[in-house]
Structure 1
Amino acid sequence: MSTENTDYEKQLDVFFVAVGRAIREWAELEAALSLTLAALLGVDQYRARVIWMSMINLQARLTLLNRLAGAFLGEPQRVNFQELIKRAETLAEVRNLLAHAHGGVDHKTARVGFLRDAKNEALGVDFLAMKWVDLSAVLSLEQDIIALRLDFSKLRKTLPAALHKLPRMHRERSGQKSRSGRHKEQNCGLRPSPFQSPVQLDTLRYPIASSPVSAWAFGPLLTFDPPSK
C-alpha cells in the first residue's frame, strides 16, 4: 500500500471517530435543550420532554425555544439566549450533513465534501448539490457542541429570575420596563381570569370586541366582569 493511501486511511479513521463523537455529544445537547424548555415553560422536565419529542424536527424545537425566550425573557438573558440559539443552528447544519448526507474526505485539500438533495428555484431539486466543510470544523465539532451545552446549562440557572409572567407585547403595551423579575407582574396564565377588575377598553389604541378570541390574544390587557349566575 502506498504512503498516500496509508495517509488517506488514517485521515478517514480520524474523520469517522470525530463524526461518532459529535453525533453522540449532540444527543447530550438535545437533552439539555429539553431541560431548557422546561425552565422556560415553568414545568417539570417530563412535560417538557413530551412537548420536545412531539416537535417534528430540530428546527421546530429551536424555533419554539427562540420564540419563548423572545416573548418572556428579560434583558440581558433574552439576547444571550438568542445568541446561543444561533450557535445551535450553525452547529446543527454541520451535524445534519454528517448524519444524513453522502460524502467523504478529500485528503489533498483536508476538506469534506457532502453530496445532498437541495431545493433549487430553477430545477425544483438539485440532486447533486455539494457542500464543502473544512475537516478541522468536523474535528472540533464535538468540543463546540460540549461548549454550547455548558453555556445553555449555565444560562438555564438564571432563567427563573429572568422570566416574566407577561409576554413582551403585553409588557410594552402596558408600559412596563423589560427587565428581569416577576414580582410586580400579575396573571401568569395564558388566558386572563374573568374575575379581574375591568380595564377601560378606551385606553387601547384601537377598539377590540369583547370576545373569547380577543381575551385569549390580549391576555391581561382585557378583562371582563364576572358572569352572572
Structure 2
Amino acid sequence: MKMKILSKAIASMTIASIISTNVAIIASAIENNTGHITQLSKVSILESKGWLESISVEWKPIKEAKGYNVYYKLASESYYKYKKIDDELIRQYSSYFRADILGLSEGEYIIKVIPTIDNKEEVSLQGIITDIEVKNHTREGFGFSKESPMKTSSGGYNDNGTVKNDSKIIYITSENVNTVTLDVITNSKGSKTKCTGIVDILSKRPKGYDKTPLIIRMIGEIKGSDIIGLNSSGYLQLKGIYNVTFEGVGEDTTVYK
C-alpha cells in the first residue's frame, strides 16, 4: 500500500483513518469539553480543551521561565499518579505556549503546567486545570474484529486510547524528517538495523519482521520537498507495515506534496 503526501492539514482530520495493514492515521484536533481553570499562580491559562483521547492547553509565557513541564492524571487517581508529557508536545508560538496531551483513555483529567526557572520547577507558579473531559474514538468494523488478522487497527495504541506498553514513539518535524533514527528488526533472527530518516525507517519494516508498535507524531509544517527518498510519484511506501500510527500534533500540523 502507498500513502500519498497529503495536500491538506493532517491535524484537520476528525476521525481515525484505518488502513488495512493496521496503519492508523489519527489527527489531534481539539473540540469543546472545556475544563475549569484554577488560577493558583502566575501561569495564566488561556484555554484548555478535551477531545477524543487528547487534551490541549494554552497559556501565557512567564518572562522569567526558561521552559515548562506539563503533567496530567485522571481526576480519580491519587496525586502520585501524575505523568509528565514529552517535551516535544510543548510548543511556543508568538504570544503563547501550547501543549497537546495524547494517548488518553476516556475520563476526567487534571493538568498541571509548571514553569522552570534556573533549571528548577517553580511549583508555586504553577497553573492547574481540572475537570477536562476526554472521550474515546469509535472503533468498529472488520479492522477491530477479533476475526481479523491483527484483532485491532489501533496501531501503536491500545483500543482504549492509551499507548501500548511496548510502543516506540518518534517525533517528526521538517528539521529532523531525514535525520531521526530508529532501530528496526530486519530479519527472522531478530537482528536490528539502525535506520535514519522517515523513509529509511518505513522501508525497513515492510517484510513484517518488525511488528513492534510504532507511533509517528508529526509536528508543524512538513513539505514533500523536505523529505529525501520519496519515490518518483511523491509517495511514502507503507506496504506490509504492521502496528504503526501516524498522527498530527495540535491544530497546525500540515503535510504537503
- Quick check: TM above 0.5? no
TM-score interval, normalised by the smaller of the two chains: under 0.3
Structure with the higher fraction of residues in strand conformation:
2
Name the TM-score, length of structure 1 as normaliser: 0.22
Larger-Rg structure = 1
Higher-RCO chain (CA-CA 8 Å, sequence separation at least 6): 2
Name the TM-score, length of structure 2 as normaliser: 0.20
Structure with the higher fraction of residues in helix conformation:
1
